[in-house]
Amino acid sequence: MTTEALTKQAGAMSTKIADTIMRQCGEDGYHPYPLERWAYVPGMLLMSMSRAGAQLGDERYFEFMRLHMDHYIAEDGTIATYSLEEYNLDQINQGKNLFPLLARGGETRYAKAADTLATQLIGQPRTSEGGFWHKKIYPFQMWLDGLYMASPFLAEYAKVTGSPELTDEVAHQLLLVERRTRDPRTGLLYHGWDEAREQEWADSVTGLSKNFWSRAMGWYAMAVVDCLDHIPVAHPKRGTIIGIFERMCHALVRVQDPASGLWYQVLDQGDRKGNYLEASGSIMFVYAMAKALRLGYLSGGFRDAMLKGWQGIQERLVTEDADGVHLHRICNGAGLSKDRNGTFDYYISEAIVSDHYMGIGPLLLCALEVERYLAQA
């Protein structure tokens, strides 16, 4: 497929995805999914629609985000269904939507809500090296997922409030988790690390989980490029962050499926029975690479891998019908706990679903980012 054809497809695809989401709203304008609770996947869906509004020039998409955020943010800035004392990094992600609201001359309640979420992170339980626990109920554990949930929020909050010490915190979190989870042989990052080495899924010597889960690395890849939007060019750790990102992308390209351009659920074991090409991780990698190429964080040598991944997403994972765009082969969810032991068999046992917003949100973000890259290429 030519670059020109991809450019046209990308623009059409982002609009189609956003319009598909809009068609799922009731007559009152509310979509049932973001109304369920304040949480990271609804938050990502709202963020993708807000970005679509800004990039595509359609105010309906931004108002979709505003309507659902206002469902949660009270006049005094309290957040419905949120509890600071949970110290749960997942609960930060939806707060990223507060910044575009504030940029529009937003109300005081949005600033108060952002302050509350930042307060959680300032007091977040930590490892001995200062790494955020993923949740209070997961003591001394760092998961790659958490870097996406919290770090871009904190980086933008630091910029908006003029708090350079919080920018330093963001850099520390990104670098620490990479150093603790990276496998020197493959360059891939393990899903989680238990400093206490107490969990059943953790290696008794290293504290690492057993496998390289696609979406976990996808979360981290997106976290890096989104944080870099807000880390000043002169920050002493910025170059190191960009460097470890490029090193990681080399590792990802080495395990990219050459036939489809996609990535497997367990990244380095594509030839194993039961493993499959998974949508959400593949989409997150393409998003991160496209954004990094556009902003100059990656060399042009990654262009072919990114475009092959985007083409594979459209040809092998996406279908369209009268109801709009559909996405298939999404891992419904995975984690690390007593019952989720991080083995290969565990990761391939999780349900594979279609049209989950865990995949649809990143798909819209990815389409928008590929479109921006191709428009300037």
**Active-site residue set:** 145
Residue 84: burial class (beta carbons within 10 Å; 0-12, 13-18, 19+): middle
**Token digits of residue 79:** 């957040």
